[in-house]
Structure 1
Amino acid sequence: MDQLKTDRKRNEYKKQIVKHLVSRNLRAFRETFLELHPADQVELFHEIEVAQQKQVLLFLSPAEFADLFEGLELEDQLTVFQGLSYQYAVSMFNNMSADDVADFLAEIEPERAKDILSSMDMEEAKRVEELMAYAPKTAGAIMTKEFVRLSVESTAKEVIEELRESAPDAETIYYLYVVDKDQRLAGVVSLRDLIIAVPEMTVDEIMSTQVVSVNENEDQEDVARLIQEYDFLAVPVVTPDKRLVGIITVDDVMDVLEEEITEDFGEFTASRGATDLSLTAFTAAKKRAPWLILLMFFGLITANIIGQFEQTLEQVVLLAAFMPMLMGTAGNTGTQSLAVAVRGIATGSFERGGVMKTVKRELGTGIMLGITCMIVLMGIISLFYKGNFLLAFIVGISLFFALSVAAVIGATVPIIINKLKIDPAVASGPFITTMNDIVSLLIYFTVATTLIDKL
């Protein structure tokens, strides 16, 4: 019901705003549109026609449009940017967070980015250039330079007065970081501690010196994990000599997690780089094709194994009927173990619990699953194939060994890949499935060949 009310209210706002745009009622548009949360502004901007989007640009100042621009996806930012005048764009960038400007300029032509930076406010341009100098996917690349830094000599009263001036331009003021005369990180003061402190107390007396920080070159995924572990709203970024250079806020981490999950999902499904719905069919096919061709060659190994046991199949053709079930169940088991292992690596569970503990657990799980499926399957085969208990035993015992081995393969392959400093998500579902197809068929035909004379 609450969602319905929200949607209805949003639709009413949209109708009003479109009406004001069509009638070119500047005052009414601004009163209505600027009341909305930036996220709602972005959603509404997406829904209106291109001509109306251009009208929005005329009705909003560059500073007002900056918040909306920051909320757009990169593809939409590039489209909107093409329609902006040069001066409007430069002024807009001057009013955006330095990290958002750096992210955008990194996606356009270097010469054009350089031209924009040369026209921006010198201080803002310097911040952006510093961020663009960091390697992608590092703490330095995703940090923001808009934060409040305090001196140890300042009093609580002086800091509160300073916040009244600088807070509107800061990314967050819930954590205030303290630096010494050499700009090295010395401590942290929470806004709560500052408010309840005696006005004459100095920052040195209020601050906590137990500060968790990250190195500027640390991987963004490790930073996200740290913020998640400590439930921080922000974390300071320092150089190797502990100089404070920026902060990373929880909203930046959410973007990182979405990016990493999308990347891992692409690896997991052997469709890396092809999960974006905005890609054309040709581009998506071009990105997926190498993976499918590689998997096709793995499939040829499976076909070769079947060919090697052609005589066994000719003697008992019925064995072929159970091949898809055996391969599918083993593949599913391996994929489940793969998910457990990849998650363990991503969350750091392996470091806390130990690799062998996880592998042993997955082996135990595979054995128990194998026993359960074997008993169920042997009962079904015996029932439907007129008491052919030997056939039921061959298929059942093969399934037992296949699931036991599949669980171990699914757990160990990503661990080995991670040890080689490769993204464990590369051990994607299709690769694990294909590998387990090969192993399960080898087990199945070996057991069948050994016992075929008794069938």
Structure 2
Amino acid sequence: MRPSVDTQRWRDYFRYDVNQAASEFCDQPLEEAAWIVDVLGVAYFSDVVSRLETDAAASLLQNLPEASTQEILTHLATDKAGLLREILSYAPGTAGALMAKEVLSVPVDSNIGSTIAYLQSLAQDKKGKVSYIYVVDINRRLAGVIQVRDLIFYSPEKSVKDIIKSPVVQVETGMSQLDVARLLQRHRYLGLPVVDKEQRLVGIISADTAMKVFENEAVDDLSKVVGTSAEEFKTLSVRKIVALRLPWLFVNIASGLACAYISGLFQKDFYSVAALFLFVPIILGLSESMGIQGATIVVRNIAMGRVSFKHLGELFVREAMAGVFIGCVCGLLVGFIASFWKADRLIGAAITVSMAAAIIISALLGLVLPMLFKRVRIDPAIASGPLVLAICDIQTLAIYFSISSAILKA
């Protein structure tokens, strides 16, 4: 069944604001995007792509089936199609796949006058976007960079190599998009030049593009926290949605069965003191919250590039101390209430000690799991979702019943 899409809306959208329309089109599910192309026609979309800059055009084509992409490319001018094929040849998630080919550069032996003439020759719609001009040698290797505003302070005869800023902060085509976005954020530049393995200038990545990377990363992390994938936002297939969600639901089932088994081991011992079972929902809730909170803090710091394994000590100590304090406070509070409610101080003591220990361990697990995942090159965001909940639940019941049993039997 084909999706219900207002194709006339897309026609109007592309006519009045092609760049914003292309950005929104890239967020559409793959099936819906392909259907829009089928209805509006390859010739229509070839015209749309021809009006876009190469980075936006490549993003639009990446959201289409391979057959549609290749068909659109055959309808484009040879030079534009060649530039787009180059961008599409890079692995997804790399700087090469993110860059724009519309990069301004002048030879290192140019002067200010020829550089200004070069800027004046640009199309009118390009002039407002110019921030940097890159200076390259005969092999297109970066020699330096000039800010456009600097040109007005020098005479036309002055050589550009006398005013360039060097060395230039640059990225290679194989660098990850998230690392590029972090670099742009750290230096607060409006763009970064992209070079190939031979250090030749091949493109540029703008700050606006980097912001989109952060948005996509946030969506991806949020998806993993709730036990799915960012792919679900871009599919209409029920089969694919089920395939994305079921694995983590199986993790929940496995952890639930493990918890039931652990509870069954202590069922006979606690038959006469069933009050301990009354507090299982409380201790599980607190333990899960501590684990998720710790994992979220670590994942966020890792995602923003604010911590590395060399600098995780301070974060770990701070969060561990908070976990110990919170565990003790919650354990004392619930244990105090339990001792008066059931008129049994021994039960209160058992709950206090076991709950505090379980919460503290969950807090530590929430801190350690993302670090371990990063160490073995697995996305740390996975550790802040169903997995950390499952592990916290299992260890919580094991600690809770084991310590309580030992105290009550003593």
TM-score, normalisation: structure 2: 0.90
Q: Secondary structure at the match of 2:115?
A: helix
Q: Secondary structure at the match of 2:149?
A: helix
Q: Secondary structure at the match of 1:188?
A: strand
Is residue 378–residue 392 contact of structure 1 (8 Å, CA) maintained in 2?
yes
Q: How has the CA–CA distance of structure 1 residues 71 and 110 changed in structure 2, closer, same or farther, with 3 Å as cutoff?
A: closer
- The 4+ residue runs of structure 1 with deviation greater than 6 A are none
1:135 to 70, 91, 94: 91
Instruction: Find out whether 1:72 has 2:24 as its counterpart.
Output: yes
Q: Look up the match of 1:166.
A: 122
2:173 to 186, 193, 216: 216
1:348 deviates by 2.3
Query: Within 5 Å, which residues of 2 pair with 1:246-325?
Result: 246-273=203-230, 276=233, 279=236, 283-325=240-282
Q: How has the CA–CA distance of structure 1 residues 350 and 404 changed in structure 2, closer, same or farther, with 3 Å as cutoff?
A: same
1:287 deviates by 2.4
Is residue 236–residue 248 contact of structure 1 (8 Å, CA) maintained in 2?
yes
1:85 deviates by 4.0
In 2, distance between residues paired with 1:51 and 1:242? 44
Q: How has the CA–CA distance of structure 1 residues 171 and 122 changed in structure 2, closer, same or farther, with 3 Å as cutoff?
A: farther
In 1, distance between residues paired with 2:172 and 2:10? 42
1:82 deviates by 2.8
In 2, distance between residues paired with 1:139 and 1:380? 57
> Going by fraction, where is helix more abundant, 1 or 2?
1
2:402 to 419, 435, 446: 446
In 1, distance between residues paired with 2:80 and 2:183? 29
Q: How has the CA–CA distance of structure 1 residues 248 and 119 changed in structure 2, closer, same or farther, with 3 Å as cutoff?
A: same
In 1, distance between residues paired with 2:149 and 2:247? 55
1:344 deviates by 1.9
Q: How has the CA–CA distance of structure 1 residues 244 and 54 changed in structure 2, closer, same or farther, with 3 Å as cutoff?
A: closer
Structure 1: gaps spanning 5 or more residues: 1-48
Amino acid at match of 1:329: L
Instruction: Find out whether 1:155 has 2:111 as its counterpart.
Output: yes
Q: How has the CA–CA distance of structure 1 residues 355 and 86 changed in structure 2, closer, same or farther, with 3 Å as cutoff?
A: closer
Q: How has the CA–CA distance of structure 1 residues 174 and 352 changed in structure 2, closer, same or farther, with 3 Å as cutoff?
A: farther
Q: How has the CA–CA distance of structure 1 residues 418 and 171 changed in structure 2, closer, same or farther, with 3 Å as cutoff?
A: farther
Q: How has the CA–CA distance of structure 1 residues 414 and 55 changed in structure 2, closer, same or farther, with 3 Å as cutoff?
A: closer
In 2, distance between residues paired with 1:279 and 1:118? 28
1:355 deviates by 2.4
Amino acid at match of 1:73: F
Q: Look up the match of 2:188.
A: 231
Amino acid at match of 2:209: D
Q: Look up the match of 2:346.
A: 390
Is residue 270–residue 428 contact of structure 1 (8 Å, CA) maintained in 2?
no
Identity %: 30
2:77 to 114, 117, 121: 121
In 1, distance between residues paired with 2:162 and 2:282? 69
1:107 deviates by 3.5
Q: How has the CA–CA distance of structure 1 residues 394 and 237 changed in structure 2, closer, same or farther, with 3 Å as cutoff?
A: same
Amino acid at match of 1:298: S
1:101 deviates by 2.2
Is residue 248–residue 386 contact of structure 2 (8 Å, CA) maintained in 1?
no
> Mean Cα displacement is larger for which, 318-327 or 201-210?
201-210
In 1, distance between residues paired with 2:390 and 2:217? 25
> Mean Cα displacement is larger for which, 340-349 or 101-110?
101-110
In 2, distance between residues paired with 1:138 and 1:347? 17
1:343 to 281, 300, 306: 300
1:238 deviates by 0.8
Instruction: Find out whether 1:401 has 2:401 as its counterpart.
Output: no
> Mean Cα displacement is larger for which, 327-336 or 159-168?
159-168
In 2, distance between residues paired with 1:220 and 1:177? 21
Amino acid at match of 1:447: I
Q: Look up the match of 2:333.
A: 376
Q: Look up the match of 1:99.
A: 55
In 2, distance between residues paired with 1:274 and 1:155? 50
Q: How has the CA–CA distance of structure 1 residues 51 and 448 changed in structure 2, closer, same or farther, with 3 Å as cutoff?
A: closer
Q: Look up the match of 1:195.
A: 152
TM-score, normalisation: structure 1: 0.82
Is residue 22–residue 60 contact of structure 2 (8 Å, CA) maintained in 1?
no
In 2, distance between residues paired with 1:72 and 1:277? 12
Structure 2: gaps spanning 5 or more residues: none
In 1, distance between residues paired with 2:220 and 2:388? 18
Q: Secondary structure at the match of 1:437?
A: helix
1:126 deviates by 0.8
Instruction: Find out whether 1:437 has 2:393 as its counterpart.
Output: yes
In 1, distance between residues paired with 2:139 and 2:11? 49
1:315-364 CA-to-partner distances (Å, cap 9, x unmatched) read 31111001111111011001000011111211222228622332222221
1:180 deviates by 0.7
